[in-house]
Amino acid sequence: MEQKLVITLAIFGVLLLPLSAYAAVYDVSQHGVQNGDITNALLKAWKLAVEAPTESKVLIPKGQWTLKQALLAGPNKAPIEFQVEGTVTAYSDPYDLPDKKGEWWIGMNYLHSLTVSGGGIFDGNGKVAWTKNDCHKNPQCTSKRLPYNLSFNFINNSLVKDITIKDSKYFQSNCISSNNVTFQRITISAPAESPNTDGIHIARSVNIKVLDSIIQTGDDCISFGDELKDVLVKNVRCGPGHGISIGSLGKTDQEKDVTGITIDNCTFINSDNGVRIKTWPSTPSTLKVTDIIFTNLIMQNVSNPVIIDQEYCPWNMCSLDKASLVQISKVKIDNIKGTSFTQDALIFSCSSSKPCQDVQIGDIDLMFSGDPKLGGATTKCQNIKYVTTGKQNPPLCVKTSAPKALPK
């Protein structure tokens, strides 16, 4: 009977799918919003979606909404789309959270076939929290418990697209212990002076992509932790911020290898760094960093466009007595163009115990944009074994003296 109904309506130019093919839509505005606060309504709608046997959608419609905190966890039985069309804003007090141990404002855990979309805004309202954050100089800081805006953990086969993440109290977003997740057309923003507002932090994951996005923040645009394999960052604009960083790595001996990270066709504008690999010295960690590609990158007035720093010791919070035991190898650097705000355009400060191996350097064309009286752009090299193709400007490793102290 259902099939006959579809055929009959098609004759009149209207094609309807069987009712069983429609996704359930759970609109949070219909689930008990209280004075614009959607905390309870979102949790109710999410519970229905997670338990739904067929594809469903959780909708935050257009409008201005507030949210205390939400853990949107699985496992889900069927695909879920989290469609955010409105602006969702956090409360300003960084410690007024229902779950004070949760390092997230919105956490999404143990989910598969998830789509986050809708063109909406996640506003972390972080201005008050930034004044309380001294983690950049105090290793015992309590601000490490400040919440991330969006935290993705144990996510598989999922897509995050067409959303804005802004003004987080701490990291803007992360992706941990996940597989086959794509971030596409994401806009991430926070003031340049906002501390520890990394755009996306990725670790312990496989097959992660960040595509076609704009990231402007007060720390790394994208940072990578350990135990990573097959990551692609392409068509991303970074700046202001601290660039795209692999690491810091090797601080603990439990960390695992990083392999297969490609940064392709990205633009860096007025950022404190371009692309870099950073590892800690004087630790027992022996992980490997291998198969890294930095290619087709444009630098616009960027400090330190390319860095390998194996003496990473911010704010003198470690010892330089022993060289890093992290092995960096199979690195390809090619087609890097633009201007460097610092005279040292390329810095290779590799470990004396584990020199950088099999580094391939292709076309480089970086001009010093500072005071011409200082001369042109330069490179600094230490404990690196490399081969070149194409042309390099500035010339590579003319002197082998130790580099200047690196930015932290």
Q: Which of 31, 112, 201, 242 is catalytic?
A: 242
> Which residue do the tokens 């959608």 mark?
57
Residues 6 or more apart in contact with residue 356 via CB below 8 angstroms: 308, 310, 328, 329, 331, 348, 350, 383, 384, 385, 386
Q: How far apart are CA 370 and CA 40, in angstroms?
A: 54
Residues 6 or more apart in contact with residue 363 via CB below 8 angstroms: 334, 335, 336, 337, 389, 390, 391, 392
31 is catalytic: no
Amino acid at position 283, single letter: T
User: 93 near 141, Cβ under 8 Å?
Assistant: no
> Which residue do the tokens 């507002």 mark?
197
Residue 354 Cα distances to 239, 252, 328, 346, 408, angstroms? 32, 17, 8, 20, 22
User: 170 near 147, Cβ under 8 Å?
Assistant: yes
The alpha carbon torsion through 60, 66, 70, 72 (nearest 10 deg) reads: 10
* Phi, psi dihedral angles at 261 (to 5 degrees): -110, 125
Question: Coil, helix or strand for 319?
Answer: coil
Active site (catalytic) residues: 242
